[in-house]
Amino acid sequence: MRHMDSTPLDALPTPAAVVDLDRVEANLRRVAAYAREHGLRLRPHTKTHKTVELTTLQLQAGAAGVTVATPREAELMATVADDVLLAYPPVGAARLARLVGLPERVRLTVALDSTEALEGLGRAAQEAGRTVGVLVELDMGMRRVGVQTPEEAVALARAVASTRGVEYRGVIFYPGHVRAPQVEQGPALREQSSRLGAFVQALTAAGLKPETVSGGSTPTLWRSHEVAGLTEIRPGINVLNDRNSVFVGACAWSECAYSVLATVVSTAVPGQAVIDAGSKALAKEEGMDPAGGYGALLDRPDVLVRSLSEEHGMLDLTGTSWRPRVGDRVRVVPNHVCASVNLHARLHVLRGGARHATWEVAARGW
Amino acid sequence: MRHMDSTPLDALPTPAAVVDLDRVEANLRRVAAYAREHGLRLRPHTKTHKTVELTTLQLQAGAAGVTVATPREAELMATVADDVLLAYPPVGAARLARLVGLPERVRLTVALDSTEALEGLGRAAQEAGRTVGVLVELDMGMRRVGVQTPEEAVALARAVASTRGVEYRGVIFYPGHVRAPQVEQGPALREQSSRLGAFVQALTAAGLKPETVSGGSTPTLWRSHEVAGLTEIRPGINVLNDRNSVFVGACAWSECAYSVLATVVSTAVPGQAVIDAGSKALAKEEGMDPAGGYGALLDRPDVLVRSLSEEHGMLDLTGTSWRPRVGDRVRVVPNHVCASVNLHARLHVLRGGARHATWEVAARGW
């Protein structure tokens, strides 16, 4: 799936998803060093990039295993990883069949929050003659998924422990509601420690001490060690970064390794330039930055993509004296890298600023 | 690319994009009758569905040609259409080469708003030994692309008329800024008529009377005939419809022919149910409905998808007594069908409520 490609960047048809491999490697080193320093197991979430190649680099750089969300991500990443966490309840016959059909060498763990999901998983695992680990999903305040109280956690963990085909391995949570910049996260992290402590204490008292406590999020990444009891982090975005991760202080602009190469196609309307990267290349997701917009130029971060149509991105030129011409090329860092990558069939990989390889975004879809 | 598939809907892995063919055919009949009644040429925009199969149905139902935005859409739709409008400036060597490389039997027309785009097109057309029609793009108030004044329109149309390889065919615009419900559009449509009249009058006075005046948008679709001088409409969304088109009054809920089939995967958080259709299946685009949310259930339009993560859709149950269980299935009508279709590799087509065919969303990407 990886092949060398010597077409210069200038000749690449646009829009094109571009990855700076030097920055990727620096990002991989930084997160591996952080996890090592704090004794946290590193299990990156591959949903961000959906490529087998980047998963391989993550494992080489020190990841103990990978996180996935979909059957397709699981199947593809299992071709290179021996330890896979499906951080998603596998509900329904098709998802279960594909999960337990993964190669036997793969150590499988699944997150869930209901007895319905547990029973289905137990049956499928037994029929396949394998044991699947289970992490009980806790709601730490995001209000998306997860059991609500220590009592519910104990009841579900007990059910896991008494279900054949599965093995209780601990707890998992995702504090996606903490979106403040890193410098202001103290109170939220203390609240997380306290809430997590109550869950762990109740489980331990019931003889169900969690071996794995898996947590973390992009905004809180570099303060994960402040959450007492955490054993594992699952960073996704950090390998590529985006405008949102810069805004929350999880990375510097110079650590953004992903951008969309685009061509200026119109300057007819005063005060703006239109590029051929629209919502179908960048994703029309509101960002965290109150300045608005859907992305900013890699080389001119003060120039925002103010609005998007499907194939048009409108660059706001009102705050700059720069005036691009029709045919000029720019690179846009989107608000949310996962959503943008998912719109592209391939990533064009640069090394030292030159074309190096093309990676297929192979795990798109389900 | 089309094949029969007898898997029942209940057994389809989720999330899955589903198209109701009976509703599609009714939508095709309705728009064809409208265009016929008002003497408007019908040139549907295929970016909504990106399938060759639906393009074929549109041509069979009375479309005089098709509209496309990308090279890939042009190439695929040209396999079944003999008259293709690229409603997008083809800037850059790659786009130009693919455009003029379309089969010679295809009558080609291109929209543009700059001399840079015109010069590139003229050179490429001459080198390929073909003539490409040009429509001068007018800005009718959306402020996205398009020349700003009648004087600019005349200057560009003159340049087109004197450029070898191309042929001046008229004007084009997209009034995407008119987002009011149909019943309130009177003033906006009168303003459009007056603005368009000024452009057409100046062009006619300069001996450049536009043979084609191509316009229209989804919200204004059924009042297109009120825009004086319009000769052609390019409806996109109308063939499938979505939550936004219902909100603006362009269709009834019962005319929504597209939905995403999903499975409930968690009910752990009170007041909501989580489905396995998130932003990577529905698209996280804000809708026009002030009630918010990213979609509504096909069979329970009062139940909204309140928020989205990448693989999670949160159904708001606070206004309903309905309480789905983990494993139950629902169908979601998204805010913006084009953005959702673009996230799926295939469409599962129903006839009489039963599985009928699978269509590849073949024109994704560029």
> Would the CB atoms of A309 and B366 count as touching at under 8 Å?
no
The percent of residues above 90 in pLDDT, for chain A, comes to 96
* pLDDT of the residue at B2: 47
In the predicted model, what is the mean pLDDT of residues A4-10?
Answer: 67
Torsion A85-A88-A91-A92 (CA) sign = negative
Question: H/E element holding B54?
Answer: helix B52-60
Nearest CB among B91, B268, B310 relative to A148 is that of: B268
Question: Helices (H), strands (E): how many in chain A?
Answer: 10, 17
Contacts of A362 (CB under 8 A, 6+ apart): A1, A50, A51, A52, A76
> Would the CB atoms of B366 and A15 count as touching at under 8 Å?
yes
Of B195, B251, B184, nearest in space to B221 by CA: B251
Torsion A83-A88-A90-A94 (CA) sign = negative
Interface check A345 vs B, CB under 8 A = yes
> Would the CB atoms of B92 and A11 count as touching at under 8 Å?
no
Q: What residues in B contact A137, CB-CB < 8 Å?
A: 266, 268
* A308, A276 Cβ separation under 8 angstroms: no
Interface check B267 vs A, CB under 8 A = yes
pLDDT tens-digit series, residues B133-184: 999 999 999 999 999 999 999 999 999 999 999 999 999 999 999 988 999 9
Alpha-carbon gap, residue A271 to A275, rounded angstroms: 14
For A208-241, b/e burial (b = at least 16 CB within 10 A) is: bebebbbbbbbbbbbbbbebeebebbbbbbbbbb
Q: Tokens 């190096």 sit at which residue? A: A356
Is residue B298's pLDDT more than 70? yes
- Tokens of residue B123, six digits: 């050179």
Q: What residues in A contact B366, CB-CB < 8 Å?
A: 13-15
pLDDT range class, residue A8, cuts 50, 70, 90: confident
Q: Tokens 């389809």 sit at which residue? A: B12
Q: Tokens 């000029």 sit at which residue? A: A328
> Would the CB atoms of A92 and B147 count as touching at under 8 Å?
no
* Three-state SS at B259: strand
Question: H/E element holding B168?
Answer: strand B166-172
Q: Are strands A305-308 and A132-137 parallel, antiparallel or unpaired?
A: unpaired
Alpha-carbon gap, residue A272 to A291, rounded angstroms: 17
pLDDT tens-digit series, residues A196-236: 999 999 999 999 999 999 999 999 999 999 999 999 999 99
* pLDDT of the residue at A27: 98
Contacts of A87 (CB under 8 A, 6+ apart): A45, A67, A68, A69, A111, A172, A174, A214, A234
Kindly report whether the peptide bond that precedes residue B90 is cis, defined as omega within 30 degrees of 0: no
Q: What residues in A contact B148, CB-CB < 8 Å?
A: 268-270
pLDDT tens-digit series, residues B80-116: 999 999 999 999 999 999 999 999 999 999 999 999 9
* Alpha helices, DSSP H, located in chain A: 21-37, 52-60, 71-77, 93-100, 115-128, 150-161, 186-205, 243-247, 279-282, 337-341
DSSP B291: T
* Three-state SS at B85: strand
> Would the CB atoms of A325 and B116 count as touching at under 8 Å?
yes
* B112, B122 Cβ separation under 8 angstroms: no
Report, in this order, helix, strand and coil percent for chain A, each rounded to 5. 35, 25, 45
Contacts of A249 (CB under 8 A, 6+ apart): A181, A182, A183, A219
Using only C-alpha atoms, chain A has a radius of gyration, in whole angstroms, of: 22
Is residue B3's pLDDT more than 90? no
The CA–CA distances, whole Å, from A4 to A1, A7, A19, A351 equal 10, 9, 14, 11
Is residue B4's pLDDT more than 80? no
Alpha-carbon gap, residue A192 to A194, rounded angstroms: 5
Alpha-carbon gap, residue B190 to A25, rounded angstroms: 58
Phi, psi dihedrals of residue B336, rounded to the nearest 5°: -130, 105
Phi, psi dihedrals of residue A85, rounded to the nearest 5°: -105, 120
- Tokens of residue A238, six digits: 């950090």
* pLDDT of the residue at A11: 86
Q: What is the dihedral of CA B222, B225, B227, B228, to 10 degrees?
A: 180
Classify residue A8 as exposed, middle or buried by CB count within 10 Å of its CB (0-12, 13-18, 19+): exposed
Q: Tokens 């601990």 sit at which residue? A: A170
Q: How many residues does chain A have?
A: 366
- Tokens of residue B227, six digits: 């825009």
- Tokens of residue B209, six digits: 């009377």
* pLDDT of the residue at A7: 63
Q: Are strands B272-275 and B313-316 parallel, antiparallel or unpaired?
A: antiparallel
In the predicted model, what is the mean pLDDT of residues B237-246?
Answer: 98
Q: How far is A144 from chain B (nearest CA, A)?
A: 7
What count of other Cβ atoms lies within 10 Å of the Cβ of residue A207? 10
Of A332, A17, A310, nearest in space to B88 by CA: A310
Q: What residues in B contact A280, CB-CB < 8 Å?
A: 339, 342
Q: What residues in A contact B147, CB-CB < 8 Å?
A: 268
Test the B interface: residue of A9, A140, A144, A237 with most B CBs within 10 Å: A144
pLDDT tens-digit series, residues B20-62: 999 999 999 999 999 999 999 999 999 999 999 999 999 999 9
pLDDT range class, residue B11, cuts 50, 70, 90: confident
pLDDT range class, residue A188, cuts 50, 70, 90: very high
pLDDT range class, residue A1, cuts 50, 70, 90: very low
* B292, B300 Cβ separation under 8 angstroms: no
pLDDT tens-digit series, residues A276-299: 999 999 999 999 999 999 999 999
* pLDDT of the residue at B65: 98
CA B82 to chain centre: 19
* A110, A134 Cβ separation under 8 angstroms: yes
* pLDDT of the residue at A4: 53
* B354, B9 Cβ separation under 8 angstroms: yes
Of A52, A101, A99, nearest in space to A80 by CA: A52
Residues 172-201 of B with CB under 8 A from A: 176
Is residue A2's pLDDT more than 50? no
pLDDT tens-digit series, residues A46-76: 999 999 999 999 999 999 999 999 999 999 9
* A95, A120 Cβ separation under 8 angstroms: no
Q: What residues in B contact A312, CB-CB < 8 Å?
A: 144-145
Is residue A5's pLDDT more than 70? no
* A240, A259 Cβ separation under 8 angstroms: no
> Is the backbone of residue A292 left (phi > 0), alpha (psi -120 to 50) or beta?
left
Q: What is the dihedral of CA B107, B50, B118, A12, to 10 degrees?
A: -130
Query: At what angle are helices A186-205 and A150-161 packed, to 10 degrees?
Result: 50
Interface check B333 vs A, CB under 8 A = no
Q: Are strands A16-20 and A346-351 parallel, antiparallel or unpaired?
A: parallel
Alpha-carbon gap, residue B227 to B146, rounded angstroms: 18
Give CA angle at A16 (A14, A20), nearest 5°.
135
pLDDT range class, residue B1, cuts 50, 70, 90: very low
* B362, B52 Cβ separation under 8 angstroms: yes
* A269, B145 Cβ separation under 8 angstroms: yes
Q: pTM of the full predicted structure?
A: 0.97
Mean of pLDDT over chain B: 96
